[in-house]
């Protein structure tokens, strides 16, 4: 079915739109604050920050921030967080559009790996796989019962086989509370 949703880059003047999508999607203010802090964090740059727009209304947002992998050679890596779609537009494909668009942009700019801590029923449909068994440790400990929620997607074939180790995230995300599901 044709829709009139389009994905575009979020610019500095979109900050209010971005934060209001985050607040609407999550029950607490935590993700809006995290998004705000990541957008200011120099170590997270260059970010990929995208809005899903329906006319003038922002209905979804996704953020990818720069990460590092402690291996030699060290692949180029990003972390996907947060992803948010406003409740009345959830389960209509908006999240999927944002993910695919962002992954295409990262792939085009030569990024090798993308990590996420997220729903194990959702992200595998985009190719994400549990990262711990593949040798990638999260920046902060993840509860054992949620270990499979720490996932990786390979954009450059062969990278997973050739690397591994601890993943580093931007300081704004490097707090234990960000790594609890
Ligand atoms: C999770 C979220 C981003 C997905 O975006 P969306 O636009 O609703 O998802 P899509 O339409 O692309 O995909 C819909 C599918 O995702 C599944 N899905 C949605 N939320 C899910 C969740 N919390 N856990 C598992 N699967 C979920 C739906 O069941 C649906 O499955 P189906 O295609 O088999 O019916 C959105 O629902 C949201 O903002 N939720 C609240 C915030 C949140 O949890 N963010 C993710 C943090 S990891």
Name the pLDDT band for 181 (thresholds 50, 70, 90).
Answer: low
Tokens, residue 100: 């695919």
Q: Is 77 close to ligand 1, i.e. is its CB under 6 Å away? A: no
Chain-centroid distance, C-alpha 96: 12
**What value does the mean pLDDT take over residues 143-159?**
96
Give the ligand 1 atom nearest the CA of 117. Answer: 48
Beta bridge partners of residue 54, listed in sequence order: 5, 57
Whether the Cβ atoms of residue 154 and residue 180 lie closer than 8 Å to each other: no
Q: Which of 95, 138, 148, when mutated, tests ligand 1's pocket best, judged by the most ligand atoms within 8 Å of its CB?
A: 95
Q: Is 122 close to ligand 1, i.e. is its CB under 6 Å away? A: yes
User: What tens digit of pLDDT does each residue of 61-103 get?
Assistant: 999 999 999 988 899 999 999 999 999 999 999 999 999 999 9
| Dist. CA 55–CA 74, nearest whole Å | 41
Give phi and psi for 99, each to the nearest 5.
-60, -50
Give phi and psi for 53, each to the nearest 5.
-115, 140
Fold of domain 5-179 = Aminopeptidase (3.40.630)
Whether the Cβ atoms of residue 79 and residue 115 lie closer than 8 Å to each other: yes
pLDDT at 107: 98
**What value does the mean pLDDT take over residues 160-172?**
96
Q: Is 80 close to ligand 1, i.e. is its CB under 6 Å away? A: no
Predicted TM-score (pTM) of the model is 0.95
Q: What is the mean pLDDT of the chain?
A: 96
Q: Report the largest interatomic distance among the alpha carbons of the chain, rounded to a whole angstrom.
A: 46
pLDDT of 1 > 80? The answer is no
User: What tens digit of pLDDT does each residue of 12-22 get?
Assistant: 999 999 999 99
Structure-token match 């291996």, residue found: 71
**What value does the mean pLDDT take over residues 119-124?**
97
């Amino acid at each position: 079915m044709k829709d009139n949703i389009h994905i575009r880059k979020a610019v500095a003047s979109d900050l209010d739109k971005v934060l209001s999508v985050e607040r609407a999607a999550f029950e607490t203010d935590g993700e809006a604050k995290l998004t705000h802090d990541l957008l200011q964090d120099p170590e997270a740059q260059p970010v990929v920050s995208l809005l899903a727009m329906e006319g003038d209304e922002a209905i979804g947002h996704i953020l990818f921030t720069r990460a590092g992998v402690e291996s030699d050679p060290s692949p180029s890596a990003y972390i996907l967080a947060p992803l948010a779609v406003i409740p009345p537009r959830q389960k209509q494909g908006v999240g999927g559009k944002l993910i695919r668009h962002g992954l295409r942009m990262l792939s085009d700019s030569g990024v090798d790996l993308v990590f996420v801590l997220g729903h194990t029923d959702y992200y595998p449909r985009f190719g994400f796989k549990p990262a711990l068994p593949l040798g990638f440790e999260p920046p902060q400990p993840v509860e054992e019962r949620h270990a499979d929620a720490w996932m990786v997607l390979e954009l450059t074939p062969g990278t997973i086989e050739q690397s591994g180790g601890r993943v580093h995230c931007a300081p704004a995300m490097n707090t234990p509370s960000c790594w609890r599901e």
